[in-house]
Chain A
Amino acid sequence: MNKILLIIKREYLSRVKKKTFLLMTFLVPGLIIGMITLVGVLTKTGGDESAKITVYDETGLFNGKFNDTKEIDFSEATRSFAEEKLLASVEGGGFLLYIPKNLEHGGKIDIYSRKRATFSVLGSIEDQVNETMREKMLKDAGIDAATLNKIKPDFSINTKELTDEGEKDSSAGATLIAGFAAAILIYISLFIYGAQVMRGVIEEKTNRIVEVVISSVKPFQLMMGKIIGIGLVGLTQFLLWIVLSSTLMAGAGRALMPKDAIKPKTEQSASQKKATEAMQASQQGPAMSMISAMETINFKYLFTNFLIYFLGGFMLYSALFAAVGSAVDNETETQQFMFPITMPLLFTYILSFSFIVNNPDSTLSFWLSIIPFTSPIAMMVRLPFGVPDWQLALSIVLLICGFIFTTWVAARIYRVGILMYGKKTSYKELAKWFMYKG
C-alpha cells in the first residue's frame, strides 16, 4: 500500500510540476473567459459597420416607416430604379430594397446588392415590413393597432420542480447547459487523461525502467499508482479551473455589470457607458434570468455527480488505455487498439446531443446512462431532466463494477505486455497474455 502511495506521489508531482500543467491551468479559463467576453462584445456592438439600404418603394406605404437600427441605415431612393440598381451593383454600393406596387396582391420584395445581405439584416427588414403591413391591414380591417398592442399578453412559463423538499424553482435551460458542459468536459478529459496514462506506460516501457520498478512492486501496483496519480492531476486541474474561472467571472461580472442600475453613470467612462447601455437594452433581460437560473441549479448535486462520473469513467477507460500502452512499443502502434476504446465514447457523445437531450427518459437513454462504458457522458446529459435516485444508484454501482472489471482485465494484459519488446501485437496475442498464469 505504502508503495502505491509512492508511485501515486511520483506520477502526480512529476506532472503537476511540469510547466505545461501550469500553462493549461491558466490558459484554459483565460481562453474560456476570453471567448465569452469576445462573444459578448461582438453581439453588443454588432457588425463593424452598418448596412446602407436604399428603399425604392412603389407602394408609398413605407414612407418614413423604416427605422434605422444599429446595423442598418435606411434612405429613400432619389433616382430611377435602373440608376439605383446600377449604384448597388458597384463595390461598396450598399443595398437596394425594391418594394413592388402589387405587394398586397402577392408581389415579392427584392433586395439587390453586390454583397449578400446578412441574416440579421434581412430579418430586421422583414420584421419592419411585416410590422408596417400588419398595421396597415389592421387599419383597413378597422382595428386600432394601438389598442391591440396594449392588450398583447406577455406571459412566460416558470418551471417549478416538485421534489421531496417541496417545490423549487428550476431552470431547464441553465441546468441543461451545465449538464452539457459537464458531459463535454468528461468526454474531453477521458481522452486527455486516458492518453496521459497510455503515454506514461509507453514511456516506462520504452525507457526500460519498468523492469527495475516491477522488481520492487507488483505490476498491478504500478498500473494503479499511475492511474490514480493521473486521475488526481485531472481533479486538481478541474478544481483550479473552477476556482480561477469563478474568480475571473466574478471580477469580470463586477467590471461589466453595475451592482445596481440606479447608481449614477457619471463615474463610468464613455465607452463603458455605451457598453452598459447597449447591454441593458439588449442583454439585461436574458442575462438576468440566466443568472437567477444559475442560482436555482443544484450545483452541488451536479458537481458531485460530475466528480463521481469523471473518476469512475476515468478509472474504467484509463485501465484500458494502460493495457493498450503496455501492448505497444510506441504511440503510432496504438491506433488499432484505440478504435474499440474510443467507439463507445464517441457513440454516446453524438447520441447525447442528438437523441438523449430530446428523449431523456426513453429506453435507449436509460440504458446508455446505466451501462458503465457510456454512462459517464449519457448520465450527465440526463441529470438536468431529473433522474430517479434508484437509476442513479444503479448506474454508479455498475460504473464501479465496470472499472473493477476493466482494471482486472487490463492488469492481466499489462503485466505481460510491459515486458514484451519489439513484437507487433495482435488481439490474439492479447488474449493469450490474458490467459497466462501468475
Chain B
Amino acid sequence: MLSIRNIVKQYANHRALDDVSIEVEKGKIFGLLGPNGAGKTSLIRIINQITAPDAGEVYFDGEKLNPDHIGRIGYLPEERGLYKKMEIGEQMLYLAQLKGLSRTDAISRIKYWFEKMEMQSWWKKKVEDLSKGMQQKVQFVATVVHNPELIILDEPFSGFDPVNAEIIKDEILELNQKGATIIFSTHRMESVEQLCDSIALINKSHKILDGKVKDIRNSYRNNTFRVEYTGTLSAAVDNSIYDVIDDKQLEDSQQITVKLRDGVTSNNLLSQLIPQVQIHDFTEVVPSINDIFIQKVKTSSHE
C-alpha cells in the first residue's frame, strides 16, 4: 500500500528523518511508534504531501506519490482543529469537498456518518458550542468522510474519554475490516500494541526496528517464564536449569520469574515443578513493545 524508501528530511539545524524506509501492507494496521520528537509527524506530513522530503521516495499503491492520492488518504493530525464559528454540517461539507467529493456525494456521506455516530442534531451547531469530546468525534468524521483507502491517525486516542475512545477504536477496526489500511502514530506504545499487525520504531530520526508485532516479540523472547504456585519449592529442585530473576510473595500464593538456561525447555521446568507445588499459572514472559523499545534505545545509544 505504502512504500517509504530512504526518506531524508533536513531542517535548518536538525535532521528530522535520516534514511527511513518503511513498508505498509494493504489492509493492515500499522503502528508508527517512537517518543515525542522522533520524527513521526515529519514522516506523516511527507506522506500527506504537506512537506516534501529532501531525499527518498514514497510510493502509494505502486505509484509514486502525487496530488491525485490526496483524496485517497484520510489524516487526523495530532493538533486537532476546526473553524470555531462555522456550522458543523457546513464545515464537514467544506472539508469533504476539499478532499475531492462532489457536493451531493459529500452530503450523503456526511449524513451516513452523522447517523452512525449519533450526531444528526449537530448539523447546525457551531464548534464552539460542542464539548471537547464531541469536537473530537466531528474531527474523526472529517478524517474518514471521503472513504479513504489509507487512514493516518496521529495520536488518535489523546483527548478522548475512555467511552469515546472505545467508539472510535471500534469504528477504526470496522473500517479496517472493510479494507482500509490504517497507520497509527503514537508515543504511547501500549495503547496500540494489540491493534497493530506491524510496527516501526523510530527514535531520533532513525528507524531502529520494524516488522510484524508477533515476529518482533518472538525475536525478543528470552526463555523467561512466570510461575504462580502454592506450596514450597524445595531446594532439591535442580537449580542448574534456570536462574531466578524475581521471587514474590502474593496474597495467597508465590510467584517466581525464571530465565531458563540454554537448551532447557518449558517442559523441563514443568516436570521439575509439578511434583513439588500446585501450579496456578504458567506464562511465558514476552517483552512488551515498550520494553523492547526501551531496550533497543539503550543499546542503540550505547553503540
Contact = CB atoms under 8 A, between A and B. Distances in A.
Interface of A: 3, 6-7, 10, 14, 204, 207-219, 415, 419, 421, 432, 436-438
B88 interface: no
A437 B49 CA distance: 13
A437 B54 contact: yes
Given A216-B95, A437-B54, A438-B51, A208 B77 contact: yes
Contact of A209 (B48, B83, B97): B83
B60 to A, nearest CB: 14
Contacts of A208: 77, 79-81
B142 interface: yes
Nearest to A211: B77
Contacts, number: 68
A208 B41 CA distance: 15
Interface of B: 11-12, 45, 48-54, 67, 70-71, 73, 75, 77, 79-86, 94-95, 97-100, 139, 142
Contact of B81 (A3, A211, A419, A437): A211
Nearest to A421: B79
Given A207-B82, A209-B81, A437-B52, A432 B12 contact: yes
A215 B70 CA distance: 7
B86 A215 contact: no
Question: Of B49, B51, B84, B99, which is in contact with the most chain A CB atoms at under 10 Å from its CB?
Answer: B51
A interface secondary structure, majority: helix
Contact of A211 (B12, B49, B50, B83): B50
A415 B50 CA distance: 9
Contact of B83 (A207, A421, A432, A437): A207
Given A421-B79, A432-B12, A437-B54, A212 B142 contact: yes
20 contacts: A6-B94, A208-B77, A209-B81, A209-B83, A211-B79, A211-B81, A212-B82, A212-B95, A212-B139, A212-B142, A214-B50, A215-B49, A215-B50, A215-B70, A216-B95, A419-B45, A419-B51, A421-B79, A437-B54, A438-B54
B interface secondary structure, majority: loop
A208 B81 CA distance: 4
Contacts of B49: 215
B45 A6 contact: no
Nearest to B76: A212
A212 B81 contact: yes
Contacts of A211: 50, 75, 77, 79, 81
A213 B12 contact: no
A152 B231 CA distance: 136
Contacts of A415: 51
Contacts of A419: 45, 50-51
B98 A3 contact: yes
B52 A212 contact: no
Given A208-B79, A208-B81, 20 more contacts: A6-B98, A14-B83, A14-B85, A204-B81, A204-B83, A208-B77, A209-B83, A211-B50, A211-B77, A212-B77, A212-B82, A215-B49, A215-B75, A218-B67, A219-B50, A419-B50, A432-B12, A436-B11, A438-B51, A438-B54
Contacts of B82: 207, 209, 212
A215 B73 contact: yes
B50 A213 contact: no
